[in-house]
Amino acid sequence: MTDATMGTAEQRRDPNFTPPLAQAVPLGIQHILAMFVSNVTPAIIIAGAAGIGFGSDQGALGFPDMTYMIQMSMLFAGIATLFQTIGFGPVGARLPIVQGTSFAFVPIMIPAVAGLGTAGLAGLMTGIIVGGCFHFCLGFIVGKIRHALPPLVTGLIVLMIGLALIRVGIQYSAGGVPLMGKPEFGSLSMWFPALVVIVVTLAIKFFTRGFLAVAAVLIGILAGYVVALLMGQVSFGNVGRASFFELPMPFKWGFEFNIAIVIGMCFMAVISAIETVGDTSGITKGGAGREATDEELEGATFADGLGTAVAGVFGGLPNTSFSQNVGLIAMTGLMSRHVVTIGAIFLIVCGFIPKIGAVINTVPINVLGGGVVVMFGMVCASGVRMLADVNWNRRNMVIFAISLSIGLGLQLEPSALQHLGNTAQMLLTTGLLPAATIAIILNLVLPEEIDE
């Protein structure tokens, strides 16, 4: 969609250019469709881990807390995107950056709320607020810390995020974590819609072009949803209970300071900041053929942190820039930030309507599982692609081997740390934090030249 009616080539490279509304609106919606599933999935995963999602006692009540978390995911993704596209003062890159709920934080958030119900959300949201403020402060130094995170470290971190999440995707595909121990868990009736999602997603991704290819996961989930509906696995009973309009509530679950959660959130804020720097650079390079300015990188980081902190106040999850939309900019060749602003407004409107969250809740957990298997696998693949840029000498192989072994090992066998305190266990058994910490330290202290 880069025809002459959308301006000259020079105009399309200008973030301040606005194409005709008849094209700007569908392009803005396309940006939202590309990230929609990924944006709401973390809320469903965290609600499930806390015990207030699928299979919980909330089912009879219409999943009110999970619906609220989905609602906040949409609302504050839209608000954080406006921070980026419109900006104010030093906040915002004023580029077509789409913000959304971050998968990277999920391995840290799951142990923070596991089995605690809504009681675990106070500590989580407080950690998100503090982590968001810390993330905001990183905007002042983001350019100075990039050297500590070369492809060896960032690739390992992204790979560990994917590995930590893959188990969740398989459990969801088999019927959801709450259904474990019941006869239907792992049955063909559970797996079949999930497999339909995977097959349709792959077919759309590789045998179509343009908008369809960008929305492949969404289309795959819709196909699986239809199959699940025909199999009697979809219930609309809870949609009628949801209201048509609801305002967000500050500190809905209270305020509770948990040092383990705060440390985890602050550490992941560093990773998210570097990811945002990369995405910002990718947008300017792919859309305008230039490097991002220091002001754009700093503004993007400020907006990232502020968006996360504000979301936490109202019960939302951490935000970050969405990499899939970077590819969309390169594909359309349109750098207009106003197009993404239109998409952000659409997200905000959805965030005020709980019925939309209730409709999303009608998607069976096994159908969602098929989608997240693809998404989490792609996270792993992204990490491997980043690692492809590494010079695999003995030094880098040792750093990778030790970091992966300890991080993945602690994740697979958390009981190995059962004699440590609760804070240490929560931080270390994620696998992600120890792997990243070891990789960063070894990369900084080991000499570049090690005898072969």
Mean pLDDT of 428-442: 85
Using 50, 70 and 90 to split pLDDT, how confident is the model at 418?
confident
Query: Token pair of 111, please?
Result: 């142990």
Tokens standing for 268? 């992941």
Q: Where are the alpha helices (DSSP H) in 289-364?
A: 294-313, 323-332, 337-351, 354-360
pLDDT digits 0-9 by tens, 169-205: 888 888 876 544 567 788 888 899 999 999 998 898 8
- Both tokens assigned to 10: 């020079």
Give the integer Cα–Cα distance in Å for 162 and 377. Answer: 6
| Mean pLDDT value of segment 324-339 | 72
**Average pLDDT in the chain:** 83
- Pick the residue with more confidence: 316 or 240? 316
Q: According to the model, what pLDDT value does residue 236 have?
A: 80
31, pLDDT greater than 70: yes
Of the ranges 22-31, 135-144, 304-313, which one carries the lowest mean pLDDT score? 22-31
pTM, two decimals, is 0.78
Would you state the pLDDT for residue 23? 76
| pLDDT 10s digits, 231-287 | 988 888 777 777 788 888 899 888 899 888 999 899 889 888 877 877 787 777 777
CA–CA distance, 39 with 418 (Å, rounded to integer):
34
- First-to-last C-alpha distance (Å) of the chain: 52
Query: Is residue 158 classed exposed, middle or buried when 0-12, 13-18 and 19+ CB atoms within 10 A define those classes?
Result: buried
The whole-number pLDDT of residue 1 equals 42
